[in-house]
């Protein structure tokens, strides 16, 4: 089946620094990828839709200057958390939709960010 790989799985950083998370579709091309955030014991909240070759579309309440998304190729999207603060600590998960009959999303392994 389709595989989405995310890196790093865990990252700890100091407050004020920036962290980049990569999301790759390994065996298919993804013109669109989706970035979700999940706080403990809560559901996945859509942050933004990443479109290859164009600007990302952000959900209401998500700061586009803080969460920079780049989708430079059909297999790679990156999320950069800039000037991270402790409240940004969360589980970030990317996903992509392969050409399957059901159109389900395939998820990366997730990246757990802890900001000290």
Partner 1 sequence: GQNIDQPTEMTATEGAIVQINCTYQTSGFNGLFWYQQHAGEAPTFLSYNVLDGLEEKGRFSSFLSRSKGYSYLLLKELQMKDSASYLCAVTEQAGTALIFGKGTTLSVSS
Residues that bind partner 1 (CB under 8 A): 6, 32, 34, 36, 42-46, 49, 91, 93, 95, 97, 102-110, 112
CA distance 33 to 78: 10
Token code pair at residue 50: 């990443």
Residue among 19 and 110 whose Cβ is closer to partner 1: 110
Write down the least CB distance from residue 14 to partner 1, Å: 23
- Cβ distance to partner 1 smaller for residue 14 or 99: 99
Q: CB neighbours (10 Å) of residue 92? A: 23
Report how far residue 78's alpha carbon sits from residue 87's, in angstroms, rounded to the nearest whole number. Answer: 20
Shortest reach from residue 83's CB to partner 1, in Å: 26
Q: Which is nearer to partner 1, 33 or 84 (CB)?
A: 33
Instruction: Work out how close the CB of 106 gets to partner 1 at its nearest, in angstroms, rounded to a whole number.
Output: 7
Closest listed residue to residue 10, CA positions, set 78, 92, 116, 106: 92
């Amino acid at each position: 089946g389709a595989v989405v790989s995310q890196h790093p799985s865990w990252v700890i950083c100091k407050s004020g620094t920036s962290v980049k998370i990569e999301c790759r579709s390994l065996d298919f091309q993804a013109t669109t990828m989706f970035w979700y955030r999940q706080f403990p014991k809560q559901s996945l909240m859509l942050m933004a839709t990443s479109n290859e070759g164009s600007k990302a579309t952000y959900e209401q309440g998500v700061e586009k200057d803080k969460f920079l998304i780049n989708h430079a190729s059909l297999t790679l999207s990156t999320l950069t958390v800039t000037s991270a603060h402790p409240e940004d600590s969360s589980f970030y998960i990317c996903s992509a939709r392969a050409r399957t009959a059901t159109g389900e999303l395939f998820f990366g392994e997730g990246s757990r960010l802890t900001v000290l």
